[in-house]
Amino acid sequence: MLKRILLDTDPGIDDSLAILLALASHEISLEGISVVHGNCSAAQGTVNALSVLELAGASHIPVYKGCDLPLVQPSLLAPETHGDTGLGYAKLPAPLSPPKVQKGSDFLIEQLMSAPGEFTLVCIGPLTNVALAIRQEPRIVEAVREVFIMGGAIRHEGNTTPLAEFNTFVDPHAAHIVYHSGMPITLTPLDVTYDCVLLKEDVERLLKIDSPITTFIADATRFYMEFHDEYQSIEGCVINDPLTMALTFAPDLCSYQEVYVDVDLSGGVSMGNTFADFYRMTKKPANMKVALSVKARDFIELFLQRMEKLARESNVLSSPQGT
């Protein structure tokens, strides 16, 4: 049976790739997107989400703008990582369709409460929208079928401070609310995403198909690769968010441990750090399943095959015979 997906995202280069992966995957049905601040402003991210959907011929999927600021912390965007527009060097036409008028968190509540036990929620940005939705309608905790979160760095170093990962650092209070909400969470931290590196030769393989989708991927990831080279001495780029999306239908890509995870809110050097109680010192029950190892090349191969399929299919649809 098709898994029904709601996506909360801050698009963002790897977020956009996660949207494309969702659209290319027959196992899941992407039914709506709420946008949050993070890699760029919520307004810019909303435009990006709409443009990426239109690029892939999926403008029927509704997009809702969510919260533009973290719950407590000042705003922190990431133009050095994702570019001023959030999509690196890619230039997409302005979207034809507008976002829906409802707020992102209200949309999540409405959908989750309308079909208890049905929706899988995938969260690949700061958790502000989701935390607000939980505070506004706590019954969504029971109503959601499962939650996949890209965030945290358990045994891995941070990518925003030495100890904290971006999504968690940007809104640690929201992460705290969601982690302790009782939702059935699977966490995809940097421990696994940093093994998933898209290489230049992978993008060259995609470019063998001449398509606006492969051009978009190449232009967006060229910027992302320059960032990884300059700031982290990594060749290629880490595609965090698509891995989280892939786990909704290919869970065997990772192995997991059920563990109690908390977020540091003390305001010092470890603000936003995520730490796991592997030795059960706190005696607290596990609050999530954490992915701790990944078959990285299998995932990259899955990603490439799905992008090839999407590019070929959209070429057929936009050819004169396909219309």
> Among residues 123 and 259, whose Cβ is nearest to Ca ion?
123
Is there binding between residue 198 and ligand BDR (CB under 6 A)? no
The rounded radius of gyration (Å) of the Cα atoms in the chain is 18
78 binds, among ligand BDR, Ca ion, none (CB under 5 to 8 A by kind): ligand BDR
> Among residues 143 and 239, whose Cβ is nearest to Ca ion?
239
Among 7, 8, 14, 299, binds ligand BDR (CB under 6 A): 14
Looking at 109-117, 165-173, 225-233, 285-293, which segment touches ligand BDR (CB under 6 A)?
165-173
Nearest-CA neighbor of 67 among 101, 36, 99, 108? Answer: 36
Is there binding between residue 273 and ligand BDR (CB under 6 A)? no
- 3-state SS class at 276: strand
Among 78, 197, 263, 302, binds ligand BDR (CB under 6 A): 78
Site size toward Ca ion, by CB under 5 A = 6
Tokens 């905790």 correspond to: 141
CB contact burial 176-203 (16+ within 10 A = b; e otherwise)? bbbbebebbbbbbbbbbbbbbbbeeebb
DSSP class of residue 258 equals E
Q: Which string of x and - marks every residue 232-271 that binds ligand BDR (by CB under 6 A)?
A: --------xx------------------------------
Yes or no: say if 245 and 17 are a contact pair by the CB < 8 Å rule: no
Yes or no: say if 184 and 175 are a contact pair by the CB < 8 Å rule: no
> Among residues 99 and 272, whose Cβ is nearest to ligand BDR?
272
Nearest-CA neighbor of 160 among 39, 44, 45? Answer: 39
Among 15, 165, 171, 308, binds Ca ion (CB under 5 A): 15
Is there binding between residue 125 and Ca ion (CB under 5 A)? yes
Looking at 11-19, 51-59, 138-146, 213-221, which segment touches ligand BDR (CB under 6 A)?
11-19
Is there binding between residue 196 and ligand BDR (CB under 6 A)? no
Q: CA-to-CA distance for 206 and 184, rounded, in angstroms?
A: 36
β-pairing verdict for 237-238 and 197-198? antiparallel
Instruction: Quickly count: other Cβ atoms within 10 Å of residue 161's Cβ.
Output: 16
Q: How far is the CB of 20 from Ca ion (least distance, A)?
A: 14
Binding site residues, ligand BDR, CB under 6 A: 12, 14-15, 39, 78, 81, 124-125, 150, 159, 165-167, 240-241
